[in-house]
Amino acid sequence: SAPGKQGYPYFMAKEIDEQPTCIRRILSNYLVNNDIEFGFGGTLDDALKNFNRICIVACGTALHAGIMGAQLFKKWTGINVDTEMASEFIYSDTTVGPDTLFIAVSQSGETIDTLEALRKAKEAGALCLAILNVRGSSISRVADYTLYTDAGPEIAVASTKAYTTQMLMFYMLALKSGLVRGTITEEYFEEATSNLRKIPDAMAEVIGQKDAIHKLAKEVITASDLFMIGRGLDYTVLMEGALKLKEISYIHSEAYAAGELKHGPIALISEGTPVIAAVTQTHLISKALSNVKEIRARGANVVLIAKNELKADFSDEYHVIGLPDLDDEYMSFPEIVALQIYSYYVSADKGLDVDKPRNLAKVVTVE
Ligand code: G6P
């Protein structure tokens, strides 16, 4: 039977709150005795060990999980990874072939562009892995391997728990690849799995700060544009944050790599322009902050997303959303939860139908 809202005003609010449980479920299924086990009699591990090329294809939010996946594969294995939008992949020249591990990501498993892209990759001889939420879907029937995120039905058009669970799959795939390829040490792997286990509580901690995030969201309900800036993994998460905000609040929101601002987007900043700046990546923090100062000097209204340990340093100058102090690589989880909550409240406070934004469908089965 269809799930109810269980007392929440919108499915999106319920689905945001479910995320710590969804992440715990995946971890308890795949983290076995401090190893990551995907099943398939170890044949997927062999594939992860042997392929030197990966191509990741998806649409929308699933594509953003894939872009994160690409970063993680590069970080932990040094493998060449291409990420493409399914709609572009289908009709473009491709070098995907028998030497490629092809990964399709989809909540529904029914998105026509992603399905067609997968068919094309399979015809070209690639080994095809799908990361899906809905069991028994069309994509699962074409893929050689399917990993399920088992997040339960996602009803809100704006994807939340599907994204974080897809992202977790990529963390596990990239870490396991690094381990079997010897590009990360066993100690590093152990440290990583202990970080993975901290994710659910970190997400729950952000959910516990809803009211503070709501307060900040109230300030932008009349805005027409909002920019999100960050570097490295922050930028990757902000792409998804900007999509959340635009799809349900109808505010024009874009994520920019902070270092690219000076090559164009900074021309859009004027007195009062709202900007969300994420600075969770320690090795990039001084560069990211210098970008934040540049836009502040042009009058931008900045909300900073930073680790709690740095919150006090910034609180005099900025509104700050503080996140639990995980190792940098894992900050993406609490960070996106903050942006989901923020987007949710902007939409709800504007009186919009949060779960059913105009012009959008949950599953897109036309090209
Ligand atoms: C639609 C939905 C998005 C989703 C995208 C891909 O645009 O509104 O939320 O990210 O399709 O869907 P999939 O089911 O393939 O993940």
- What is the number of the ligand 1 atom nearest to the C-alpha of 60? 10
- What is the number of the ligand 1 atom nearest to the C-alpha of 162? 16
List the chain residues with pLDDT less than 70: 1-2
Question: What pLDDT sits at residue 3?
Answer: 80
288 phi, psi to nearest 5 deg: -65, -40
Closest CA to 280 of 226, 315, 237: 237
- What is the number of the ligand 1 atom nearest to the C-alpha of 61? 10
Question: What pLDDT sits at residue 316?
Answer: 86
Question: How far, in Å, from the CA of 243 to the mean position of ligand 1?
Answer: 11
The CA-atom distances, in angstroms, between 250 and each of 9, 224, 256, 267, 351 are 20, 8, 18, 22, 12
User: For a substitution probing ligand 1, which of 11, 67, 89, 111 has the most ligand atoms within 8 Å of its CB?
Assistant: 111
Question: What pLDDT sits at residue 315?
Answer: 85
The CA-atom distances, in angstroms, between 278 and each of 35, 168, 275, 302, 335 are 32, 20, 10, 10, 8
Q: Helix %, strand %, coil % for the chain, to 5?
A: 50, 15, 30
Sign of the CA dihedral with 199 first, then 200, 201, and 207 last: positive
Cα–chain center distance at 227: 17
- What is the number of the ligand 1 atom nearest to the C-alpha of 166? 16
The pTM (predicted TM-score) of the whole model is 0.97
Residue 259 CB neighbour total at 10 angstroms = 17
- Which residue has a Cα nearest atom 5 of ligand 1? 60
Question: How far, in Å, from the CA of 116 to the mean position of ligand 1?
Answer: 15
d(CA 257, CA 246) in angstroms, rounded, equals: 18
- Which residue has a Cα nearest atom 15 of ligand 1? 106
Question: What pLDDT sits at residue 121?
Answer: 98
